[in-house]
Chain A
Amino acid sequence: MRLSVSAIRIEREMGNGGEALVACSDRSMGTGIAIWDIRTGDPLLHIPTCASPPHGLLCLGNQFLVASQVNKHGSVGGGAIFTWPLKKSQSPLRSYPIEAIGPISCTMDGVYLAGGAPSGNVYIWEVANGRLLKTWRAHHKSLKCMAFSNDDSVLISGSDDGMICVWSMVSLLDMENLESSPSLLHYSSEHRSSISGLLTTSSANSTFISSSLDGTCKAWDLVSGRLIQTQEHPLGITAIVLHPAERFLLGGSIDGRIFVSVLNIGLVDDPFVVAEDQLFVLEGHKGSITALAFSTLGLISASEDGTVRLWDAISWVTIRRFNYQKGAVTNLALIPHSSLLTSSNHQRVPYQIRLSLLEKCPQPEANSSKGTVALLHSCSSLKDHQTSLDFRTNSLNHQIFEMEEAHTPAALQMKLETSIDNRMWATRMTKHVMEINKHLQSRLLDLMQNRLLWSAEDDSPTARKSKKLKIGSPSLEGEKL
């Protein structure tokens, strides 16, 4: 049984070529980003100069790492967002927004990037051309966490004072008449302390879960903002993650424990019943949990104690420990292993995300007429081939039909040419036959002359008659032709 389980696991890994684990800290720019192979635990890559605040690191479309930078001294006055192409990590793209950016989040297809500032402002950029599409005052307090809904049409933001706001992207990005329709769908200040995590469930786009330092995790209805469920924990929750099958909700706490509880949003319907489904607790970390993630191999947790652990998702034991060594780990990301390899083997990426420097401030309307950069997929020759074959058959059938019916001039012409051809052939053949006939007749005459000469010598009529028949029959055949 054990064997088959691990076999399945190996198969899964082969399926997507393995994953790599990305971690970084917020201590100082010198610490940088460390990347490990999850399966073997070997360090793969180290990217220098990066220090990101919590929720400040993400992987954009499996092609870029994006990290907002902490700016502790504030001497520069602005913030910084660095972007590294995974294939060429030595040449990052450095954007400098107008103020320091804390949490960042991107849409699933990597088209939009949202960043939140300590001032409570939120920025949305279009990644491909770097345009700052929108900036607005979203919260009174510092932004802590942001997430897009599964369909990327709703942005959820959480702030230091426990406020959660849900924004409609459609009206946020409405270029034409600004401020006409309210983009804030609803907000809530149920949490009594800073929001530490936001995530959306995959079920029907309608639920999201928030965690807070006040020790609760709450499930909300995305559209109406109704509180569905509250889970209480003894300690402040610093990070949450959903089990891939969405059976469990895992919450990391301040003291390094990870609480696993059953998530059943669909069944419990009374928001005031505090679910006591806490199943068990994972222990091992010595510092506050900062980030949680699920890989194909199991749960991954990062902590302020400077380690990252990989837990088996079935037995819930630590399989591996990665030592970051340079201080508290603040961010985790998982990237496919293959995205790190330089494309030496001519493998074409399905589509390449275009990336530009993120703009400092929104451009006036006149400049935005340059339009949107759209991605059009690369072609598939198979389909073209098919249509070509279809065309052949159609064309052939069409032509045959026309020939049969002979109602178009061309078909008539073809028919005519054919019949002329036939006629000429018949004439030729007739001539030929006539020639043969003549020839035969002359032969016959010769023959008869000879016979007459002979018959003078001996008279035998029967033999002559049969000869005549023999000569006659081929000429008949010739005429038939």
Chain B
Amino acid sequence: MAALENLKDMYDVALKPRMLRALLKEDVPDEKKPLGTPLKLSRVVSTIQTFKLLAESITGSMDDKLIERWKSAVDDWLNRLLFLVSSSTMPDKCWAAICLLGVTSQECSSERFLASYAVWFDKLLLHIQSPADSQFVKVASCTSISDLMTRLAGFPNAKKNGTSHAGKLIQPVLRLLQEDSSENVWEGALHLLRTVITFFPASLHRHYDSVEAVIASKILSGKCSINMLKKLAYCLALLPKSRGDDDSWLSMMRKILLLVNGYLTEIFHGLEEETKWDEAVRLLVPPGEITPTSLWGQNLLEETSDRARKRSKLSSVSALMHSCCTMLTTSYPVQVTVPVRSFLALIERVLMVDGSLPHAMSPFVIASEQEFICTELPVLHSYTLDLLTSVVKGIRSQLLPHAAYVVRLVKEYFRRCKLSELRTKIYSIIKMLLISVGVGIAIYLAQEVVNNALLDLNLNGDDASSSANPMAPSEALLQPCRRKRKRGASGSLEQKYDAISLDVEASKSHPTTMIAVKIAALEALEALLTVGGALRSDSKLSKVDNLLINMAADCCKGGWANEESNSFLPNGSTSTHADLQLAILRTLLASLLSPSCVRPPHLAQSLELYRRGRQETGTKLSELCSYALLVLEVLIHPRALPLAGFSSEKSSHEVNGGLQEIGHRSSDSDDVTFERWLGSCKETDTPADGPGKNINSKMPSENLGVQAGSMATKSPGQSKDEPAVANADVEMGNFGDEIIVESQQVQEPILQLQGFTSLKDATVSVVLDDPKIPELELTRVASGTGALVSTDKETAPVEAGMVDRGSEIASTVGSKNTTASALKETVFGSESDHDSSAESLPDIVDADPDSD
């Protein structure tokens, strides 16, 4: 046993073997010690994972004794586990050991894993094979083997071994699926199967058909729960991946679609035209092939009047649709041919059935039959919409040839659909379409989205009526849609009347589905505004702005909703009032930012909202609000920033230099000059001002604009000294190369003075040069610029104006100045022989601080 010297801290490596031993001693059962409460097990697992007790990670500084101690502790750990795993008399301990072995196979060191995974695998496999074991043991074995295989897949050189091992698993797993009766075991087995398909697809080759048959029969048996059906459907969808070729994907898809269409023909009998089945077959079965009469042991077309049978078929259809979704959206090793038209035909077929009877049919359908279909339809529609989502997601831009079709379909269904859960899905599909296809589809969808969103968002009155006769979300889904629609149509009159008397309190008591619809509508609007904001001129989109600001003001009037944690709800996915607020504010932001000809009329009000929202510390709302304020800044104070190279004053100077250079050379364009350009521009020289001044006056003024802009955008912190350097830099540029080198130390006025006097050509450095104004003046000017930065609301337009009006400002600015011009006058007096364009450069630069 380890000596009990004190540890350094909780990170001390010496702690790990000791903790492992302690766990072994106290918490892990052995032959005699009972397991005690199973909760202990989760504590063991979490301790091992937190401290990485099994990692045996050896660093250079560890001494050999410690390494040895750790190794022996892990050895003991494994011995104990393996002993327990193979003992058949103590099922609970065996179960615990199997669970821990799974953890071990994930956590232990690579060397140890590679050395002994085969032994573990065999031990675990025994438990899957033996029919006598408790289902706990079986599930745990499946999970642990799956962990083991996952880890094994991480070693590329163990691929072959892994495949052969995985091959041994298929038969026992299938047997579990077929023979065992517990869903838990199925779940574990499916999980294992999924791991095998994902990581060792090659192992499945020999068993492909039998796996397919077992899973399909399971789905079609109608004995599984919805959760189970989804998992089965997922595995069925993964199956073609194990072969990884175009054909097996397509043939699986064909089978599924044929079966779904066949079942639907039966279920919808009397509610749709008879031709649908033939149409589906025409699209699915290649010409020249015979339509199979049965698939996976199921007849494609048969008459059933048994309600239970129909219900089970409906759930099979849902599951198979889920398979389609998975196949469309998960990755596949090669490109496949997607039967898009079959999908769309199927989707249209289902969505267009609303329980009403075509005229010719009505006498043949029994009322109870119709009622049955009506109750089941919403669920079916919901799955179909999921399928549509997956189609759009899966084939992306290749949807374009079918986009118009989808648009028509969505519009038509939107017109009919009255159930809020389905509307939520439609909105999300529209959102996806808008974002993926872009402005081209926004043209067709804008009107639809706006009209429907206005309807859904204005629904206060309808909410009241629906809360008056309370309707749980689940009931809402199951309610026959025809009745609901009638009510919705009649309710529209009173809704406007009621809307006035309602206030925020009422909206807080919305059923969650209502909130979900509203959020979905807002999100669709947001997508529309983002993508097709340019459409706003010719649509109702402007109405939306008003609606949004009203909603925002309305819902924020009563304070911000709490983002209460949903720890009491198992899935935590219900949308709350806080989510609604968030969605409103986000959509409002999109409406403010989307392109328009005039400044958004509600800008001030919105800003106020965002400013208030930002104070809600620690909420998503405050994150959104601070982001909104940042983004809106650009809208309020538009900036046309100069292209300042890489945000240094030096490079902005380079641009200037380059410009003047080019202007200077506009007369001669020799190839010889390139070499000089290459050389000279590297050193950022600027030409002597002689020819440079003679260019048209537009150029320097433009340069100035650039220069002034770059200063204005510097952060206040920097502006203390950087603009000064920038000024000096530009100014010095006019003197020539030798001073440029020194201009890095601009702060020394003496140097400036020397440069100035030696050249007798001062245009700019007047401020620096004046004997009475040392550095102090420099910093004053600089700080003036700093002030300017902080209030650049006013300066931005001013600068723009300066750029536009060009040189005339340059001449007037001088006279407007008070302090700076006074300083300059002395210099100007002495050196009056500068032409205006050269003067304009310093004037404007200096004038900036005073111009506000």
Contacts and interface: CB of A to CB of B under 8 A. Distances in A.
Say whether A associates with B: yes
A284 B103 CA distance: 70
Nearest to B153: A381
B823 to A, nearest CB: 30
Contacts of B423: none
A378 to B, nearest CB: 6
A459 interface: no
B395 A374 contact: yes
A316 B658 contact: yes
A417 interface: yes
Interface string A264-293: 101101000000110111111000000000
A299 B678 CA distance: 15
Interface string A122-150: 00001010000100000000000000011
Given A267-B638, A400-B38, A391 B655 contact: no
Interface string B62-104: 0000000000000000000000000001111001000100110
B412 to A, nearest CB: 13
B331 A175 contact: no
Nearest to A425: B32
Classify the interface of chain B: helix, strand, loop or mixed.
helix
A388 B146 contact: yes
Interface stretch (A15-23, A75-83, A327-335, A407-415): A407-415
Interface residues of B, number: 112
B645 A222 contact: no
Interface stretch (A24-32, A85-93, A365-373, A463-471): A365-373
Interface string B777-810: 0000000000000000000000010000000000
Nearest to B253: A371
Contacts of A316: 658, 662
Interface stretch (B616-624, B663-671, B715-723): B663-671
Q: Which of B35, B187, B401 is packed against the most chain A CB atoms within 10 Å? A: B401
Interface stretch (A2-10, A52-60, A96-104): A2-10
Given A111-B398, A400-B42, A204 B595 contact: yes
Contacts of B395: 372, 374
B398 A1 contact: no
B301 interface: no
B340 interface: yes
A414 B336 contact: no
Contacts of A388: 146-147, 150, 191, 195
A418 B92 contact: yes
B654 A315 contact: yes
A153 B441 contact: yes
B57 interface: no
A42 interface: no
Contacts of A4: 646, 648
Contact of B135 (A126, A281, A282, A410): A410
A151 interface: yes
Contacts of B397: 107, 109, 111-112, 152
B438 A205 contact: yes
Contacts of B403: 169-170, 173-174
B182 A206 contact: no
Interface residues of A, number: 99
B566 interface: no
Interface stretch (B136-144, B457-465, B519-527, B545-553): B136-144
A374 B335 contact: yes
Interface string A373-413: 11111111100110011011001111110111000001101
Interface in B298-357: 328, 330-333, 335-342
B95 to A, nearest CB: 7
Nearest to B666: A281
B218 interface: no
B169 to A, nearest CB: 15
Nearest to A111: B397
A109 B188 CA distance: 41
B404 to A, nearest CB: 4
Given A222-B534, A388-B150, A399-B140, A181 B92 contact: no
Contact of B331 (A154, A279, A376): A376
A262 B681 CA distance: 22
Contact of A224 (B42, B199, B538, B645): B538
Contacts of A133: 401
Contact of A317 (B99, B438, B643, B677): B677
A221 B654 contact: no
Given A170-B441, A171-B404, A223-B534, A392 B147 contact: yes
B407 interface: yes
Nearest to B32: A425
Given A174-B405, A317-B681, A422-B34, A410 B184 contact: yes
B400 interface: yes
B645 A314 contact: yes
B143 A151 contact: no
B651 interface: yes
A111 B699 CA distance: 45
A438 interface: no
A456 to B, nearest CB: 47
A446 interface: no
A286 to B, nearest CB: 9
Contacts of B438: 149-154, 205
B92 A373 contact: no
B737 to A, nearest CB: 15
Contacts of A187: none
A245 B643 contact: yes
A136 B565 CA distance: 58
B400 A173 contact: yes
A358 to B, nearest CB: 16
A413 B404 CA distance: 60
A243 interface: yes
B401 A175 contact: yes
B37 A392 contact: no
B95 A414 contact: yes
Contact of A153 (B335, B337, B439, B638): B439
Contacts of B398: 111, 126, 128, 372-374
B90 A421 contact: yes
Contact of A385 (B150, B532, B646): B150
B674 A284 contact: yes
Interface in B624-671: 638, 640-643, 645-646, 648, 650-651, 654-655, 657-659, 662-663, 665-666, 669, 671
A396 B136 CA distance: 10
Contacts of B394: 374, 376
B41 A396 contact: yes
Nearest to B37: A404
13 contacts: A153-B439, A169-B403, A175-B401, A280-B699, A315-B682, A316-B658, A370-B337, A372-B338, A373-B335, A374-B394, A379-B198, A392-B147, A410-B184
Interface of B: 34-35, 37-39, 41-42, 45, 89-92, 95, 99, 102-103, 106, 134-136, 139-140, 143, 146-147, 150, 153, 182, 184, 187-188, 191, 195, 198-199, 282-283, 328, 330-333, 335-342, 394-405, 407-408, 437-441, 443-444, 530-535, 537-538, 594-595, 597, 638, 640-643, 645-646, 648, 650-651, 654-655, 657-659, 662-663, 665-666, 669, 671, 674, 677-678, 681-682, 698-699, 702, 800
Given A170-B403, A224-B537, 19 more contacts: A8-B646, A111-B397, A151-B438, A151-B440, A153-B441, A174-B404, A204-B530, A204-B534, A245-B643, A262-B640, A280-B658, A280-B699, A281-B662, A315-B655, A315-B657, A317-B677, A395-B188, A396-B99, A399-B139
Q: 3 closest Cβ contacts across the A-B interface? A: A153-B440, A151-B438, A174-B404
Interface of A: 1-2, 4-5, 8, 107, 109, 111-112, 126, 128, 133, 149-154, 168-171, 173-176, 181, 185, 204-206, 221-224, 243, 245, 247-248, 262, 264, 266-267, 269, 276-277, 279-284, 312, 314-319, 351-352, 354, 368-381, 384-385, 388-389, 391-392, 395-400, 402-404, 410-411, 413-414, 417-418, 421-422
